[in-house]
Structure 1
Amino acid sequence: MTTTVLRTEGLVVGYGGRPVLDHFSFDLRANEVLCLIGHNGAGKSTLLKCLFGLVPRQGGQVYLDEKPLNHIEPRRLTAAGLSLVPEGRGVFPGLTVAETMKMGLWAAGVPKDLREERLDWVMSVLPALHAFYQQRAGTLSGGQQQIASIGRALLSRPRCLLMDEPSIGLAPKLFQDLLQPIRQLQRDTGMSILLVEQNVKEALKISDRVVVMKSGAIIREALPEELADNAKLMELY
């Protein structure tokens, strides 16, 4: 029997009184990479922001390990096992990567005596961090900023990682180089990943299951190989 880690039931989320997600229900299963695709404005990023407590919901429920999450702020969600890699990377350009990680360890609530060990673990997952660890984030390339953003999200050792458009501004090869260590980590630890992505072709290569959204609703659930044909993808868009 497949275990559900994160799910929504009848979720209603919107802006200015207008719903973007209306009675939206989905599930993220244990030990899987679920890729969420769809046109711009389909509600993908809104879903991730709601799951991480950044956008309030007007109705419905979110469950983590079948326990309802009732308006829990992001810090407590991080402690519960959720972590978010935001769209646009969300790095502070004036801080060095080292300072960003120090702040991330504090924000994740990692005890002081475990912080060095936790940082070493993240660096082992993303060894590229070593090369620009003392640089200010504003001086980094897009790929380096994304590595730093993912590294910060991993500091809490999440069981469930939410990734919002990690390929923005990256060449396909760099995107794959970025995601392969995360895929390996997911396989090694059993972590679940919800990946929102516009670069569908590359995202399908590291996904176990795909959900297609349109206008705030799920219109298709499939295995990656079922959507490998570009013509089939075009039909859904």
Structure 2
Amino acid sequence: MSKKLLFALLAGALVLAGAGCGEKKETPAAENENKNVNQVITANVNGSVVELVEPSGEEEVVGEKEAGGVEFVEYVNKSVGYKIVRPDGWYWQHFIEREISEAMPGVFDLFVTDPNPLPGFGTGYLGRIVIEVSERSMDELARNVSDLTSSAVTVGGISATKYEGVRTNEMVENQKVIAYHFQKDGKTYRIVYTKINSTSEEEAVFQRVVDSLTF
């Protein structure tokens, strides 16, 4: 056998042996359309750190709507049974009782959303829009907003109290606060908006969320 033929056979064998052994490309992970829906939030509770990972509350997101130049998607909270539209593309997080009971005693369900990354518990700011379901009394909640103007309104067909005003103190300056408080089936609902240097357009987005709430 000639040397040329021998070299050719050896080269062919090496090619066959190396087939399939090249660099493997990993399948890219699917992007999270809801941004940080599984974001880890670290809570500082009485000096100890509590990490809350992968909220397990049931929710369903379907459909799309548009209002005031902001796109909204329908959000169904199956844990407590309400439906809203939330701003599409915002960061959002949903927690059920066992995930927040240590950080927020008495709270059954918590939904937070913000156009910016969520800061987490222990910061004094949960997000621009917060929907809280708890066993707290209406009087207890009212004491926390006694500096705001109140008025009687309806939310989701239920009588509610709306609190609104601007706060400036040692913690914040020119912070707009809008809060709706009401009760249903023995649970207390609190829907809150907070924003420093708030604009009417930003408040309209919050109002769209409130107006969309149904049970």
TM-score, length basis structure 1: 0.29
Bigger relative contact order, structure 1 or 2 (CA pairs below 8 A, ≥6 apart) = 1
Structure-2-length-normalised TM-score:
0.31
Bigger Rg, structure 1 or 2: 2
